[in-house]
Amino acid sequence: MTERTAAHIPTGWDGVVDVTESDGWRQPWRLPPRRLATAFSPELTEHAVVPTGVRIGVVTDAPELSLSLRSTPVWTPRPRAVDVFVKGELSQSLPVGAGAEELIVRLPGERSEVQLWLPHRGAITQVGPISVAASATIEPAPATGPRWITYGSSITQCLVTASPSETWPARIARRYGWRLLDLGFAAQAYLDPFVARTIASRPADLISVELGPNLYIRGPFTERSLGGLAAGFLETIRDAHPDVPVVVFSPPVWVEREHEPNPHELTLSGVRELVENVVRVLQGLGDGNLHLVPGDELFGAADAGLTIDGLHPDAAGDALLAERFGPRLAAVLAGSAVQVPAGGPAGRPASEPVR
């Protein structure tokens, strides 16, 4: 049996707000665990420990690497995976089960940068030791590139796409070399002040905010409350990041529900109009670095065939979102503006219940 040496590589984490340790297992968090009680939402806490967009980066000359994981399902079981990138290219996608297990990652055996994308859906995931042969070297990989924070609902967490590196935020981050912090929380994007303060507290070069269908589904807000809360959410972020571009996109089209009133008599199209008006009001008050991408242009009625239910994009829908949204974000970061391409996904390849 090959003698191994193990290390936790604590500085190799990226896409996290915090990492805690208990009994030799490290828990990545996408929200600050010590302050989560202020959200008064067990559901949001449940999402905060699901490592959507979380990566571990190492540099090693080992021919293989052993990754210990412990998974605790929190939703209906769905296929999950760790995506392995070697020198920037996808090398393996390793299936992940429940409970404790050891994944063996095959490597070139020469000094290479390795990035491990943890499972983005379905389970709390804890990380144990990362082991390599005793004769090999291993160290944390340097984290480089602009820091991008993206916030939203299941549209941003991307629970349909099976691969953690193929969600639309992951696709964009990989394409442009950005350091992603994915704050997508399925059915929990309710303008929580706690989340706004989290975004305000993190270093960022670019911020995108999905003010999406959660503002409509189940009627969490009235017309009176929604506009002010959305404005306050954005102003909390702006106060902490006065010079960082912030891009807002409003709800995508949900054909079956566009004009159906929720319990507070708001339609999805009405929520979209209100969100876009909030952005225009803040722009009119002098926020020249706040940008709007209308959701019906980003993912419209013609794209419904790339969803599982008329709203949530499938894997091909995520690819289309990345193709449309990525250039807009890149242009904003570069200080210019581009138009979102119009039209549907004709000719494009197509691919849990999502909450």
Extents of the domains making up the chain: 4-140, 147-334
Q: Which residues pair with 27 in a beta bridge?
A: 20
Please state, in angstroms and rounded to a whole number, the distance separating the CA atoms of residues 302 and 320: 12
Q: Report DSSP letters for 212-233, one per residue.
A: -GGGTTT----HHHHHHHHHHH
Please state, in angstroms and rounded to a whole number, the distance separating the CA atoms of residues 113 and 56: 11
pLDDT the model gives residue 341: 45
Instruction: Give the residue-averaged pLDDT of 103-127.
Output: 96
78, exposed or middle or buried, with CB in 10 Å at 0-12, 13-18, 19+?
middle
pLDDT exceeds cutoff 50 at 6: yes
CB 143 within 8 A of CB 57: yes
Please state, in angstroms and rounded to a whole number, the distance separating the CA atoms of residues 94 and 80: 8
Instruction: Give the residue-averaged pLDDT of 253-259.
Output: 96
Query: Over the stretch 273-329, which tens digit does the pLDDT of each residue have?
Result: 999 999 999 999 999 999 999 999 999 999 999 999 999 999 999 999 999 999 999
Domain 4-140 has CATH 2.60.120.260: yes
pTM for the whole thing? 0.93
Please state, in angstroms and rounded to a whole number, the distance separating the CA atoms of residues 49 and 118: 12
Instruction: Give the residue-averaged pLDDT of 224-228.
Output: 97
Query: Over the stretch 23-33, which tens digit does the pLDDT of each residue have?
Result: 999 999 999 99
Q: Pairing mode, if any, of strands 55-60 and 138-140?
A: antiparallel
pLDDT the model gives residue 348: 31
pLDDT the model gives residue 74: 87
Q: How many CA atoms lie within 13 A of 256 on its CB side?
A: 9
Query: Over the stretch 8-66, which tens digit does the pLDDT of each residue have?
Result: 455 699 999 999 999 999 999 999 999 999 999 999 999 999 999 999 999 999 999 99
pLDDT mean across residues, the chain: 92
Please state, in angstroms and rounded to a whole number, the distance separating the CA atoms of residues 97 and 160: 17
Place of tokens 């994007």: 189
Please state, in angstroms and rounded to a whole number, the distance separating the CA atoms of residues 316 and 4: 41
Q: Which option is the CATH number for 147-334: 3.40.50.920, 3.60.15.10, 3.40.50.1110, 3.90.1150.10?
A: 3.40.50.1110
- Name the band, by pLDDT with cuts 50, 70 and 90, for residue 5: low
Q: Pairing mode, if any, of strands 13-14 and 55-60?
A: antiparallel
pLDDT exceeds cutoff 50 at 212: yes
Kindly report which listed range (139-143, 227-231, 254-258, 342-346) carries the lowest average pLDDT score: 342-346
pLDDT the model gives residue 75: 77
